[in-house]
């Protein structure tokens, strides 16, 4: 009656290929990588003797944020060598998330599970590799049996630690990012369609025009809230990565 027709969930999440095996999600991911790289390449080309402004100021602020709010909080000074990786991870996820509120794109690339899963597996390989580099094969001993575990409990503790570290960590990283961005995307689509349908129904039921203001304001509020979610999800993924790497570096962790 009012023209409200919610599209199938498959239509919200899947996009037609722009060309073979390359759709809008792929385009967003490539654009995020290119834009992030260009920002720091352009910033690096500026004269370092001059006070930072514009793009260089943005780049330096991003580096300081990662060093002060992520690395120093989880890894200490010895973790500063991880700045390039953690900075790249944060910027890429942030830009992939941000497209959920960008007109015409209106889809976070991280709302599809492939990108969060790939990033989580990359982090998994890195923190396992870091543990092997610093602790050799004893890394797995420290991983499965923290200091002070009674011998009788070692089989149970070892099984729990194996699943929590080797399996649950990458899965939780994946699901946390994917689910939050997908939920936000569906909410925005829902209130956008509801607002449009109620405004279009004014010729049939004029009072619905007033009613349409409510979902529209909710849409504006959720869009503003999604800006915070975009940042927080990138930050949480990055800081957890730093925690996992730090825990692999020293046996006492």
Do residues 36 and 92 touch, judged by C-beta distance below 8 A? yes
- Condensed to tens digits (0 to 9), the pLDDT of residues 146-158 reads 777 777 777 887 7
d(CA 178, CA 183): 9
* Beta carbons within 8 Å of 59's beta carbon, 6+ residues apart: 39, 40, 43, 44
Cα–Cα distance list, 166 to 87, 121, 123, 124, 187 (Å) = 24, 10, 11, 8, 33
CA 173/CA 175 separation, integer angstroms:
6
CA atoms within 13 Å, Cβ hemisphere of 14: 7
CA distances to 14, 171, 178, 222 from 181, in Å? 15, 16, 5, 12
Rg (alpha carbons) of the chain, rounded to whole number:
23
Instruction: State pTM to two decimals.
Output: 0.85
Q: Which residues contact 202 (CB under 8 A, 6 or more apart)?
A: 208, 209, 212
The pLDDT-based confidence of 253 (bands split at 50, 70, 90) is very low
CA angle 223, 229, 233 (to 5 degrees): 150
Instruction: Examine the pLDDT at 86 and tell me if it is beyond 90.
Output: yes
3-class DSSP assignment, residue 19: strand
Distance CA 73, CA 193 (A): 42
| Mean pLDDT along residues 198-213 | 59
Q: Dump pLDDT digits (tens) for 92-149.
A: 999 999 998 887 778 899 998 999 999 999 999 999 999 888 888 877 877 777 777 7
- Give the range with max mean pLDDT: 51-55, 155-159, 182-186: 182-186
CA–CA gap between residue 233 and residue 252 (Å, rounded): 29
Here the tokens at position 161 are 């630690």
Q: How many Å apart are CA 109 and CA 194, to the nearest integer?
A: 24
The pLDDT tens digits of the residues spanning 1-35 come to 455 566 666 666 666 677 777 888 888 999 999 99
């Amino acid at each position: 009656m009012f023209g409200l027709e919610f599209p199938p969930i498959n239509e919200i999440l899947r996009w037609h290929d722009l060309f073979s095996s390359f759709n809008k999600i792929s385009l967003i991911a490539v654009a995020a990588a290119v834009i992030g790289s260009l920002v720091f390449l352009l910033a690096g080309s500026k004269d370092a003797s001059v006070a930072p402004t514009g793009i260089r100021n943005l780049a330096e602020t991003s580096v300081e944020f990662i060093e002060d709010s992520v690395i120093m909080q989880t890894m200490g000074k010895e973790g500063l060598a991880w700045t390039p990786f953690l900075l790249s991870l944060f910027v890429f996820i942030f830009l992939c998330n941000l497209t959920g509120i960008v007109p015409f794109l209106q889809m976070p690339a991280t709302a599809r599970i492939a990108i969060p899963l790939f990033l989580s597996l990359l982090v998994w390989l890195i923190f396992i590799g870091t543990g092997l580099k610093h602790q050799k094969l004893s890394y797995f001993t420290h991983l499965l049996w923290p200091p002070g575990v009674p011998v009788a409990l070692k089989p149970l503790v070892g099984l729990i630690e194996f699943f929590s570290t080797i399996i649950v960590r990458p899965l939780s990283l994946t699901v946390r990012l994917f689910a939050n961005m997908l939920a936000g995307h569906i909410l925005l689509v829902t209130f956008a369609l509801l607002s449009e349908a109620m405004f279009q129904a004014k010729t049939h039921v004029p009072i619905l025009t007033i009613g349409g203001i409510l979902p529209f304001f909710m849409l504006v509020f959720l869009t503003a809230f999604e800006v915070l979610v975009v940042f927080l999800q990138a930050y949480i993924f990055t800081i957890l990565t730093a925690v996992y790497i730090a825990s692999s570096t020293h046996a006492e962790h």
